[in-house]
Every structure is written in C-alpha cells, then in structure tokens.
Amino acid sequence: MRYFLDISYNGTNYHGWQIQPNAHTVQAEIQSALSKMLRAETAIVGSGRTDTGVHAKKQVAHFDVVQSWEPSQLTYKLNAILPNDVVINKVHLVKDDAHARFDAVERGYEYFLRMERSPFGLQESLYVPYKLDVELMNQAASKLIGKQDFESFSRVKTEVNNFICDLRKAEFIWRGDLLVFEVKADRFLRGMIRALVGTLIDVGRGKLTPEDFVNIINAKDRKAAGKAAAPHGLFLTQVDYPEDIYLDFGEGKR
C-alpha cells in the first residue's frame, strides 16, 4: 500500500531535504521516524529537493507498506517521534503507482522580503536594505509567464534533460509589511527561484530594466542573471496532484 505524507518543516537546522552523507536532512529525519514506527527500514520519495535553509509549508513524499494503516494514526504516531521543526500535516492513501515527484502537476513557492529591520522572522524572510520599485519588479516578473527556457536561472551543474518550465504565476504582493514573491509552475530548476528573486531585486533597485530582464531570459546563461537570494526567505508552499490518485480511506482524500 502506498501513502502520501503532507509535510511542513523549518529548514533552518537542516542541510536541505535530500539524504546525503554526514549531513542532517529532513528526508533522513522522516525516514528514521517512519522506520522506527513501522519497525522496518522504510524509504520515502519526495516531490523534489529543497536546499539548505529552505523551508516548506507543504512538501509531499510517498512510502510503501504491506500492512494498511489508518491515516490519522500514522499522522499522530509520526508527529510523536519527529522533532518540533518537522510536522506531518496529514497522511493520504493513494493508488499503488502514485508518485510524489512524477505525478505532481503544479508546484508553488513563496519568497519573503522585508524592508524594515526586525528581530523577528530572521530565518524566514530576507531583509533588503534598499528601496525597491515593486511595479518595475512585477513588469519584469510578468515576462516569466508561459513555457520557455530558464537556463539563465538554473544552477550550472545540474542533471536535467531540458530547462523548459511552464510558469503560471510570478508576482510580488504585499502581506502586511512583507513583500512576497509568489510563483507557480509545472516544475522548477535547481536554484531557479532564488536566482529569479536575486535578479528581480536588481530590477527593483534600478540596476536592471524589465527589458534587461528579458535579455537575461533569452541569454540562456546563468552568468547573465543576478546573484541568488539567500535560502532562508524561500518556502515550498504547494504541490498539487490529479484528484484521481487519492483513495477514500479514513479521513478521505483531503
């Protein structure tokens, strides 16, 4: 039987999502808790990676078990073992061939910027000590919409077949005193959102024009884009799947 885990975590104390030698990662933490609970080594597969210091309000991972479990019991027991900075929001029973990574149809991220100094939220938002022209930033961000090549915003050494992503939303909005970059797409490249934010900050500072930003997209060269924004302002917030992969069981689909 296959289950999906709906996960939130604060990435401050972790070297990203993916298991790696001699590093404290979110995936390793959850696998350890799950294996302890099930009394058998149990691997999980995530919807994608997040880097060191990046957070998630909604990450999804799948795992397989022979014995059926009530989803609410899995949720309760896992949260009793996991540290406070990793939380299982919900567990879903899904089709046996459902895949957390390959079946995702849309992903969403948010990047948080603050314009004023504050002793709060230091690891969940980036302080920008410059006045930004948000209108210009949104003019540039609008050029990201659609299916196109985003090689200029991808890490240079990455194993992908292509750099094409279909962006459905890219916009800066105010939430109180925080400026939030909301972005949604079918997929994202490694380091892409942080590179986008860093380059769009240069637009907001007047160092680049929206036309310059278009030229950077067309250059297909990471050296053309700006410096990547720091990881701690970034949150994975959305991973969506076709409704028909969820099975009615216990708490239902969602």
- pLDDT value of residue 254: 43
Residues 93 and 153 in one domain: no
In a domain, 243, yes or no: no
Give the ranges where 67-220 is alpha helix by DSSP (H): 71-81, 134-141, 192-204, 210-219
CATH classification of the domain holding 161: 3.30.70.660
Residue 206 CB: number of other CB atoms within 10 A? 12
Distance CA 112, CA 126 (A): 6
Residues 97 and 142 in one domain: no
Residues 128 and 229 in one domain: yes
Residue 243 carries which DSSP code? G
Q: Is 109 annotated as a binding residue?
A: yes
Taking the CA atoms of the chain, what radius of gyration do you get in angstroms?
19
- pLDDT value of residue 248: 59
CB 144 within 8 A of CB 181: no
User: 71-81 vs 26-38: helix axis angle to the nearest 10?
Assistant: 120
pTM equals: 0.94
Which parts of the chain sit beneath pLDDT 50?
A: 249-254
Q: Looking up tokens 């992903």, which residue turns up? A: 107
- pLDDT value of residue 159: 79
- pLDDT value of residue 192: 97
Residues 115 and 222 in one domain: yes
Task: Give the residue numbers marked as catalytic.
Answer: 51
Distance CA 19, CA 49 (A): 10
- pLDDT value of residue 251: 43
- pLDDT value of residue 65: 95
By residue range, what is the domain housing residue 116? 106-237
